[in-house]
């Protein structure tokens, strides 16, 4: 067995669903990324532009690396749709994937008989992971901008282990298998896709419920529907996911109790009732803490404005009178909607 095949086998043994190898070097999508930033598509995500120069070449963030082992970890696309995007219902995926990438790096060092310098990246570092993943043969860029694999769809996380080690690269994924399909583009409630494979993040429900600080634009609130954190709509309708998405296998990604089996209204009411301590207990170790309690309450108020009824009026009235300004404003908006119905 070649070293490359042994690395892939070990990665699969650690639980990764896809593994490919590519060379570190210039990112093919760097110019597109720069134009996307310049057009203001990133909104308030200013961190994306701070190290944009490093994203242009995967040899820059960690000096000396020559190869990248790119992995994907499925998070259960067959789980029922709900008010929280599937990826965020359980434990934070970053810690789990970093740990496994570190384990893989240590194993590679033992295999070659020396320490192999490198670093694992899981969507928080200045590299374009999708670019690496396509070059490593893991899939193509879908029209909804997600990487799509012909065997498992798109409900997976991407990680990259950059190494100071020469490895034979796999063939890149060259074909676009979306064809004439536009289901993902047509299904987006907020019309966030400017064109195929170009997302205006400032209109995306995931951005609005996670990255957006302060008020959600009133013109977009109704379109967010029952989504409290993130959105899976453009993935749900993708034929590759309808056919090939998998059952949840990673126990760490199973829904925590506050989310499990909750409909949008039920979860929204539970979140609006949380105090700081209840929030810390409910979301300890969760990616959802990125939105903070105020953000989750803001989102929950919008959801009640969209799917709630007059039974929610007293709760919304109390939140509007007692909570911090941004939450209170959204609760007042929701109150007007439920009483108006």
pLDDT at 341 over 90: no
Q: What is the pLDDT of residue 106?
A: 98
pLDDT at 261 over 90: no
Domain contains 299: yes
Q: What is the pLDDT of residue 234?
A: 98
Mean pLDDT of 123-132: 95
Domain contains 150: yes
Q: What is the pLDDT of residue 196?
A: 98
Could you confirm whether 123 is annotated as catalytic? yes
Which 3 state secondary structure label does DSSP give 19? strand
- Burial (CB < 10 A; 0-12, 13-18, 19+), residue 81, is middle
**What does residue 117 show for φ and ψ, rounded to 5 degrees?**
-65, 150
Asked if residue 155 and residue 28 are part of one domain, the reply reads yes
Query: By C-alpha distance, which of 223, 96, 93 is closest to 155?
Result: 93
Asked if residue 158 and residue 50 are part of one domain, the reply reads yes
Instruction: Determine contact, residues 79/72, Cβ cutoff 8 Å.
Output: no
Asked if residue 15 and residue 123 are part of one domain, the reply reads yes
Asked if residue 268 and residue 148 are part of one domain, the reply reads no
Domain contains 35: yes
Asked if residue 268 and residue 119 are part of one domain, the reply reads no
CA 325 to chain centre: 28
Domain around 124? 3-163
Mean pLDDT of 29-43: 96
277 Cβ partners below 8 Å, 6+ apart? none
- Total domains in the chain come to 2
Check 57, 123, 270, 318 and give the catalytic one.
Answer: 123
Q: What is the pLDDT of residue 323?
A: 84
What is the C-alpha separation between 46 and 203, in angstroms, rounded? 16
Using pLDDT thresholds of 50, 70 and 90, give the confidence band for residue 17.
very high
The pLDDT mean for the chain works out to 97
Asked if residue 137 and residue 27 are part of one domain, the reply reads yes
The CATH number of residue 300's host domain is: 1.25.10
Using pLDDT thresholds of 50, 70 and 90, give the confidence band for residue 51.
confident
End position of a domain, from candidates 143, 163, 183? 163
Asked if residue 153 and residue 12 are part of one domain, the reply reads yes
End position of a domain, from candidates 115, 135, 163? 163
Mean pLDDT of 187-212: 98
pLDDT at 52 over 90: no
Domain contains 56: yes
Asked if residue 273 and residue 154 are part of one domain, the reply reads no
Structure tokens at 263: 């409909």
Domain contains 69: yes
Domain contains 89: yes
End position of a domain, from candidates 163, 182, 211? 163
Instruction: Determine contact, residues 313/338, Cβ cutoff 8 Å.
Output: yes
Using pLDDT thresholds of 50, 70 and 90, give the confidence band for residue 150.
very high
What is the per-residue pLDDT across 281-316, written as a single tens digit (0 to 9) for each?
999 999 999 999 999 999 999 999 999 999 999 999
Domain contains 202: no
Query: By C-alpha distance, which of 259, 258, 275, 263 is closest to 318?
Result: 275
Asked if residue 134 and residue 271 are part of one domain, the reply reads no
User: DSSP characters for 182-222?
Assistant: -HHHHH-TT--EEETTEE-GGG-HHIIIII--SPPPHHHHG
Instruction: Determine contact, residues 102/117, Cβ cutoff 8 Å.
Output: no
What is the C-alpha separation between 235 and 142, in angstroms, rounded? 10
What is the per-residue pLDDT across 101-119, written as a single tens digit (0 to 9) for each?
999 999 999 999 999 999 9
Domain contains 127: yes
Asked if residue 262 and residue 155 are part of one domain, the reply reads no
Percentage with pLDDT > 70 across the chain? 100
What is the per-residue pLDDT across 320-332, written as a single tens digit (0 to 9) for each?
999 899 999 999 9
Query: By C-alpha distance, which of 118, 139, 121, 135 is closest to 22?
Result: 135
């Amino acid at each position: 067995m070649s070293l490359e095949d042994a690395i892939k086998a070990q990665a699969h043994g650690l639980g990764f669903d896809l593994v490919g190898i590519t060379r570190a070097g210039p990112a093919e999508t760097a110019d597109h990324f720069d134009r996307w930033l310049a057009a203001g598509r990133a909104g308030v995500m200013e961190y994306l532009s701070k190290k944009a120069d490093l994203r242009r070449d995967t040899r820059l963030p960690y000096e000396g690396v020559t190869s990248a082992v790119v992995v994907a970890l499925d998070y259960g696309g067959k789980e029922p749709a709900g008010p929280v995007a599937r990826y965020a219902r359980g434990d934070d995926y970053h810690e789990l994937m970093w740990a496994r990438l570190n384990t893989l790096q240590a194993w590679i060092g033992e295999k070659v008989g020396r320490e192999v310098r490198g670093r694992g990246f899981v969507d928080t570092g200045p590299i374009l992971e999708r670019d690496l993943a396509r070059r490593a043969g893991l899939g193509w860029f879908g029209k909804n901008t997600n990487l799509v694999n012909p065997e498992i769809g798109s409900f997976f996380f991407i990680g990259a282990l950059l190494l100071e080690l020469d490895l034979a690269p796999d063939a890149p994924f060259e074909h676009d298998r979306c064809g004439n399909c536009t289901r993902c583009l047509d299904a987006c409630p907020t019309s966030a896709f400017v064109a195929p494979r170009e997302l205006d993040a400032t209109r995306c429900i995931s951005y609005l419920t996670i990255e957006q600080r302060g008020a959600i634009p009133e013109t977009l609130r109704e379109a967010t529907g029952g989504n409290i954190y993130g959105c899976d709509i453009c993935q749900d309708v993708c034929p590759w996911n309808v056919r090939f998405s998998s059952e949840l296998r990673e126990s760490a990604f199973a829904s925590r109790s506050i989310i499990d089996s909750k409909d949008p209204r039920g979860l929204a009411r539970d979140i609006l009732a949380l105090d700081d301590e209840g929030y810390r207990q409910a979301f300890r170790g969760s990616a959802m803490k990125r939105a903070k309690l105020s953000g989750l309450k803001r989102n929950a108020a919008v959801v009640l404005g969209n799917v709630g009824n007059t039974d929610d009026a007293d709760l919304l009235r109390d939140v509007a009178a007692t909570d911090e300004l941004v939450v209170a404003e959204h609760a007042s908006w929701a109150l007007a909607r439920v009483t108006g119905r």
